[in-house]
Every structure is written in structure tokens, then in C-alpha cells.
Amino acid sequence: CAPPDAVVWPQAVGQVQELAALCHRCRVPMVPFGTGTGLEGGVNAVQGGVCFDLSRMDAIAELSLEDFSVTVEPGVTRKALNKHLRGTGLWFPVGTVGM
């Protein structure tokens, strides 16, 4: 386990952009964190850096029933999405790969 040097909790795209620009200028590694499944081991900050915890960015921005698409922020969980979809006839199963 290699924890990051710092963790930030941006709540809007603009904040992510500003933080990413700062890390880039200072040559600090960025480690994204979405919903916390940890299946891919992406939060392991082997070179230190800043963890961008995106779990508070959990808005469901747009749903199109006609083309079966939904636009979500990175902190939206599968359970929250399925709760939002309840009553539409759609659902997001485990193991679905986003496009």
C-alpha cells in the first residue's frame, strides 16, 4: 500500500481542472479516485502525489431514454444510478463497461 501525499475533494469540473493544472505545473503525480471499488488498484500512489477523490461529484447530468444513454459525474455509484433509473425500464448491471 502506497498512500498519496495529499487528498483533495473537488466538487466541480472547474476545480478538477485547476487542481490538475497546478499538479502539472509542479510535476506532482495525480491519482484519481471515483467510487472506491478498488478493483484495479488505481489509488496505490507508488510515486506519491495528490489523490483526486471524485466521490463528491455524484450528479446524474442527463438521461436519454431514446438512445439508452446517461451522462454522470465520476462519483455516481451503480446503486445510485439504478435508483435514478427505477421506473424507466432501464438498469445498469454489474460488469457493464462504459463507453
Q: Is the per-residue pLDDT at 96 higher than 60?
A: no
Q: pLDDT band at residue 42, thresholds of 50, 70 and 90?
A: low
Mean per-residue pLDDT for 70-96? 88
Q: Is the per-residue pLDDT at 37 higher than 70?
A: no
Strands in the chain per DSSP E: 6-8, 30-33, 50-53, 60-64, 69-72
Where does the chain hold its CATH 3.30.43.10 domain(s)? 6-53
Q: Which fold has domain 6-53?
A: 3.30.43
Following CA atoms 25, 41, 33, 73 in sequence, which dihedral angle do they give, to the nearest 10 degrees?
A: 120
Average pLDDT, the chain: 88
Distance CA 4, CA 1 (A): 10
